[in-house]
Amino acid sequence: MDEGASAPKPIIGFFSLNLCQIKSESLSANETKKLPRDVSGIRLGRLAVAKAYQRQGIGKTLLVAAMQKFMEIFNTAGGIGLFVDAKDQEAKRYYEQFGFVALPSNELELFLPVKTIQEALTARQ
């Protein structure tokens, strides 16, 4: 190791986004009215904060950053919203406080429509 090099900074949190495709029938009846059978979206593959840094608002900051990145992708590739698979009921409640709604087909799979994301980000400006 180079003696002049500084120690690496710890990773306190991260998120990942992936393009996804789902059957529109797995959405609520409200959402599926004008949609084709297969719809594209973005899946929040993972959002995590190191245990020592939890409960400090870092998760919310990462979620907002994920929503901003979603909009960049949406403006290029389209999609109907942001999906996430909650690992348990506690994670589900966490996402629900930001407007995510459970899909009728799987209560731990949640969805945040693009319109809700746009409104949330506009309100932050």
Identify the DSSP state of 51: G
The arithmetic mean of pLDDT across residues 3-30, rounded, is 82
pLDDT at 15 over 80: yes
Question: Over the stretch 61-102, which tens digit does the pLDDT of each residue have?
Answer: 999 999 999 999 888 888 888 999 999 999 999 999 999 999
Residue 4 confidence (pLDDT):
67
The arithmetic mean of pLDDT across residues 17-29, rounded, is 81
pLDDT at 125 over 70: no
Domains and CATH numbers, the chain: 13-124 (3.40.630.30)
State both tokens at 114.
Answer: 């693009």
* Whole-angstrom distance, CA of residue 34 vs CA of residue 50: 41
What are the two backbone dihedrals, phi and then psi, of residue 33, each rounded to the nearest 5 degrees? -45, -50
0.85 exceeded by pTM: no
